[in-house]
Amino acid sequence: MTYIELLKRVDTLAPLPKTLLQIEEFKKTDNFESTDLSKIIEQDPLMVSTILKTANSAMFGFVSKVDTLSRAISLLGVNFTISIALGSGIKQALESDLNAYGTTSDAFLRIANMQSNLISLWIGKIDVNLKNDLILPAFLQESGKFLINNAIVDENKTEEFSQKISTHFNGISNIEKEYVGMTTAEVTSAIFKHWNLTQTIIHSIKFSDEPAKALPQIQKHAQILYISKLVCNIVKPFDESSITFAKQKVVEYGFDLKPFEAAINKMQERLLDE
What DSSP line would sit under 93-118, residue for residue? HT---BGGGTB-THHHHHHHHHHHHH
- The sign of the dihedral angle between the CA atoms of 98, 183, 186, 27 is positive
Other Cβ atoms within 10 Å of 121 Cβ, number? 19
Give Cβ neighbours of residue 98 (< 8 Å, ≥ 6 apart).
Answer: 104, 105, 107, 108, 145, 146, 149, 234
Alpha-carbon distance 224 to 246, whole Å? 10
Q: Are 140 and 202 in contact (CB under 8 A)?
A: no
Q: pTM higher than 0.85 for the full model?
A: yes
Q: Residue 156 corresponds to which amino acid?
A: N
Alpha-carbon distance 35 to 265, whole Å? 35
Count of structural domains within the chain: 1
Q: Which tens digit of pLDDT belongs to each residue from 52-109?
A: 999 998 888 788 899 999 999 999 998 889 999 988 888 888 877 899 999 988 888 8
Under DSSP, is residue 273 helix (H, G, I), strand (E, B) or coil?
Answer: coil
- Which CATH number covers residue 198? 1.10.3210.10
Instruction: Identify the domain containing residue 230 by its residue range.
Output: 3-272
Please list the pLDDT of the chain residue by residue as tens digits (274 residues): 667 888 888 999 888 888 998 998 888 776 678 889 999 999 999 999 999 999 998 888 788 899 999 999 999 998 889 999 988 888 888 877 899 999 988 888 889 999 999 999 999 999 999 998 999 999 999 999 999 999 999 999 999 999 999 999 889 999 999 999 999 999 999 999 999 888 889 999 999 999 999 999 999 999 999 999 999 999 999 999 999 999 999 999 999 999 999 999 999 998 887 6
